[in-house]
């Protein structure tokens, strides 16, 4: 399902993955099966992806300590206004009614390992988001402590940019950045321990927070510890010195780069085997994290 439109009701926002409806005092987040790479939405959808992302996020919200306030209000169609109920039932378990927040305009990235854009910056400058790290680390090296490495939240069509905590403080205030850092690391540590007990490494992840009316306590929002927002590796395949296979979009990215596309111009069509292989990876991550098989959920 690549869009979740309701006849006669316009979404207030359509992101790369989610269609969002305004319910007055709340929002309805609907995760479609769209998949993006290099910030471009690919032509094919991945079966069940949106439902898996929503259900995994719901799972984490239910596991997290209650001290971490989150935005989930309900995943029951009966709790939606009348005009939304029939559509929501037809979508399957891909929607979540959430608190309407004013989002803090930075992405709260936490890294436990040196990969991706962090590895790139480390190779160039020996730092990640301005944080100095020991010399001689290999790609995918485990860091002694998880680090908070914020990024700007790019406008549509643009790429997020890694920034220092000082620069993040300049954007939203130092006190708020310290609070977000502490919350982000706490959720990351919780997720990483959970994952570790299940044979998975949570290498890094991205959180988004928002505040009611733009003030007060930051509330954990958006999607949480999913394959789209995080890099998970099977622990038994982990070797520093290269990027281990992951449950995130790496599989699709590998296909895209083998076909010669790296973000410029129109993306190629995904062959059925790549679509299926991607769906299988999302399902397997759900199974490994929750202990429940995905099949039969939709």
* Binding positions for ligand ATP, rule: CB under 6 A: 15-18, 20, 27, 71, 98-101, 103, 156, 208, 210, 221-222
Which lies closer to ligand ATP via its Cβ, residue 131 or residue 179? 179
Contact between 205 and 230 (Cβ < 8 Å): yes
Which lies closer to ligand ATP via its Cβ, residue 71 or residue 114? 71
Work out how close the CB of 237 gets to ligand ATP at its nearest, in angstroms, rounded to a whole number.
28
Residue 26: enclosing H or E segment and its boundaries?
strand 26-31
Distance CA 210, CA 217 (A): 8
Contact between 62 and 96 (Cβ < 8 Å): no
Which lies closer to ligand ATP via its Cβ, residue 81 or residue 271? 81
Which lies closer to ligand ATP via its Cβ, residue 72 or residue 143? 72
Work out how close the CB of 276 gets to ligand ATP at its nearest, in angstroms, rounded to a whole number.
23
Distance CA 111, CA 145 (A): 9
Which lies closer to ligand ATP via its Cβ, residue 33 or residue 181? 33
- Burial (CB < 10 A; 0-12, 13-18, 19+), residue 191, is buried
Work out how close the CB of 31 gets to ligand ATP at its nearest, in angstroms, rounded to a whole number.
8
Which lies closer to ligand ATP via its Cβ, residue 86 or residue 154? 154
Work out how close the CB of 61 gets to ligand ATP at its nearest, in angstroms, rounded to a whole number.
12
The conformation of residue 186, written as its DSSP 8-state character, comes to H
Work out how close the CB of 40 gets to ligand ATP at its nearest, in angstroms, rounded to a whole number.
11
Cα angle, residue 234 at apex, residues 231 and 237 outer, rounded to 5°: 115
Which lies closer to ligand ATP via its Cβ, residue 108 or residue 275? 108
Q: Which residue has the tokens 């999607």?
A: 223
Q: Kindly write down the DSSP assignment for every residue of 64-86, as one continuous string.
A: S-TTS-B-EEE--GGGS-HHHHH
What is the distance, to the nearest Å, from the Cα of residue 201 to the centroid of all Cα atoms in its chain?
Answer: 16
Work out how close the CB of 208 gets to ligand ATP at its nearest, in angstroms, rounded to a whole number.
5
Work out how close the CB of 11 gets to ligand ATP at its nearest, in angstroms, rounded to a whole number.
10
Neighbours of 82 (CB within 10 A): 6
**Residue 68 vs residues 145, 189, 207, 220, 224: alpha-carbon distances, Å:** 21, 13, 12, 7, 12
Whose CB is nearest to ligand ATP? Answer: 15
Contact between 228 and 262 (Cβ < 8 Å): no
Which lies closer to ligand ATP via its Cβ, residue 204 or residue 208? 208
Work out how close the CB of 39 gets to ligand ATP at its nearest, in angstroms, rounded to a whole number.
8
> Coil, helix or strand for 115?
coil
């Amino acid at each position: 399902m690549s869009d979740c439109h309701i006849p006669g009701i316009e979404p207030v926002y359509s992101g790369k993955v989610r269609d969002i409806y305004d319910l007055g005092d709340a929002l309805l987040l609907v995760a479609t099966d769209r998949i993006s790479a290099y910030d471009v939405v690919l032509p094919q959808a991945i079966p069940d992806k949106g439902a898996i992302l929503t259900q995994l996020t719901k799972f984490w919200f239910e596991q997290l300590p209650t001290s971490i306030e989150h935005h989930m209000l309900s995943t029951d169609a009966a709790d939606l206004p009348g005009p939304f109920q029939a559509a929501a039932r037809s979508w399957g378990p891909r929607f979540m009614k959430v608190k309407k927040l004013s989002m803090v305009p930075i992405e709260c990235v936490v890294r436990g390992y040196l990969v991706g854009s962090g590895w790139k910056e480390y190779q160039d400058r020996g730092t990640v988001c301005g944080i100095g790290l020991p010399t001689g680390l290999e790609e995918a090296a485990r860091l002694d402590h998880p680090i908070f490495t914020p990024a700007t939240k790019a406008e549509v069509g643009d790429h997020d940019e890694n920034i220092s905590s000082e620069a993040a403080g300049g954007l939203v205030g130092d006190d708020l950045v310290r609070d977000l850092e502490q919350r982000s690391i706490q959720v990351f540590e919780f997720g990483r321990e959970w994952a570790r007990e299940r044979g998975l490494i949570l290498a890094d992840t991205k959180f988004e927070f928002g505040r009611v009316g733009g003030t007060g306590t930051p509330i954990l929002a958006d999607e949480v510890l999913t394959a789209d927002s995080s890099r998970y590796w099977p622990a038994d395949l982990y070797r520093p010195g290269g990027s281990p296979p992951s449950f995130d979009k790496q599989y699709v990215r590998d296909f895209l780069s083998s076909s010669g596309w790296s973000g410029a111009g129109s993306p190629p069509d995904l062959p059925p085997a790549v679509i299926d292989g991607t769906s299988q990876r999302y399902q397997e991550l759900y199974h490994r994290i929750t202990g429940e098989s995905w099949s039969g959920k939709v």
